């Protein structure tokens, strides 16, 4: 579309948001890093040097090799191998794939849930507001990890045999259920402000139905803070996922996420094989840091007071 209308591209390039992005070195570096991580994860099946899930290619003789630049390292295992002879670099790429998948989908789901409930509570007020917001308070009084552990535990107990298949569903559900509260509270606050604005009253006087007012008038005007929150929450969700996996209630060892990799490597940390856990850890830091930096930039760029 931008090609069809060159001025649209120019306008976009010149818009305040893009301008602020171009003039924020932290945001540009963060965006580059995040893009790199996402590309590595998305393209893993095609660009990874090895397939860590293909057991046939694993050689136990190659297990616990250090990174290539160390004395005993091998050039074909650039970041070394783990205890089963898997290439760390490939495992990282596939692990990031799972981490990102879980992070993004759980954030998407919690945005959906939180924004809907927050909108509903803020718009109707009264009883709805009380019920939804008190539920939020209850959710907030538990640490997110605890709730996630509970749900993961219950999920496991209920479907013991289907655990492998359900692991990701349980993981995403548990992160969603702890994450939606923030969106609900944010959106409810903005909705309380917006619903008293005169354009909403004008729509009511016209006879527009409540659901349409919520969807077409209020929703677009309360999404700004949600966007910022969601960006930062992606990082939080990835970390929560890693934590759960590290604790052994997350991604199964057969399809390891970054957290699983860190947990596996943790056992070898004191026997000197630091690379098995440090590289997944670095990857995790890299992803969450770049996403957080992007979120911080977005928050400042969208804040009219700082502009």
Residues that bind other proteins (CB under 8 A): 19, 197-199, 201-208, 217, 220-221
Neighbouring C-alpha atoms within 13 Å toward the C-beta of 291: 23
Residue the block writes with tokens 């290619």? 57
Rounded to 5 degrees, what are φ and ψ at 31?
A: -65, -40
Residues near 83 by beta carbon (within 8 Å), at least 6 away in sequence: 63, 64, 264, 267, 268, 273, 276
Complex with other proteins: residue 113 or 203, whichever CB lies closer: 203
Complex with other proteins: residue 163 or 204, whichever CB lies closer: 204
Min separation Cβ 140 and other proteins, Å:
19
Min separation Cβ 88 and other proteins, Å:
45
* List of E strands, the chain: none
Min separation Cβ 200 and other proteins, Å:
8
| CA dihedral for 256, 293, 225, 219, sign (positive or negative) | negative
Complex with other proteins: residue 156 or 204, whichever CB lies closer: 204
Terminal-residue alpha carbon distance, the chain = 29
Query: Rounded to a whole number, what is the largest CA-CA distance in the chain?
Result: 78
Min separation Cβ 16 and other proteins, Å:
8
Min separation Cβ 189 and other proteins, Å:
17
Complex with other proteins: residue 76 or 197, whichever CB lies closer: 197
Complex with other proteins: residue 54 or 137, whichever CB lies closer: 137
């Amino acid at each position: 579309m931008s090609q069809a209308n060159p001025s649209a591209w120019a306008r976009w390039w010149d818009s305040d948001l893009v301008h602020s992005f171009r003039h924020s070195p932290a945001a540009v570096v963060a965006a580059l890093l995040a893009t790199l991580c996402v590309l590595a994860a998305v393209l893993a099946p095609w660009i990874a040097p090895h397939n860590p899930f293909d057991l046939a290619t694993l050689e136990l003789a190659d297990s616990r090799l250090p990174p290539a630049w160390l004395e005993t390292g091998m050039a074909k295992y650039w970041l070394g191998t783990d205890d089963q002879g898997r290439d760390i670099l490939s495992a990282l790429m596939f692990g990031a794939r799972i981490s990102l998948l879980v992070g993004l989908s759980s954030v998407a789901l919690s945005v959906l849930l939180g924004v809907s409930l927050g909108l509903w509570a803020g718009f109707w007020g009264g009883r709805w507001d009380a019920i939804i917001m008190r539920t939020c308070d209850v959710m907030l009084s538990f640490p997110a990890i605890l709730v996630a552990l509970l749900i993961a535990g219950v999920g496991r107990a209920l479907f013991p045999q289907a655990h492998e298949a359900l692991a990701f569903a349980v993981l995403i559900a548990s992160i969603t259920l702890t994450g939606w509260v923030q969106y609900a509270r944010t959106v409810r606050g903005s909705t309380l402000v917006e619903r008293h604005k005169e354009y909403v009253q004008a729509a009511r006087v016209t006879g527009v139905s409540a659901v349409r007012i919520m969807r077409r008038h209020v929703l677009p005007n309360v999404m700004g803070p949600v966007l910022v929150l969601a960006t930062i929450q992606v990082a939080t969700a990835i970390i929560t996922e890693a934590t759960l996996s590290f604790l052994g209630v997350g991604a199964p060892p057969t399809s390891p996420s970054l957290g699983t990799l860190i947990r596996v490597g943790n056992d070898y940390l004191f026997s000197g094989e630091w690379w098995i856990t440090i590289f997944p850890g670095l990857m995790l830091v890299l992803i969450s840091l770049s996403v957080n930096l992007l979120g911080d930039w977005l928050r400042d760029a969208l804040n009219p007071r700082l502009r």
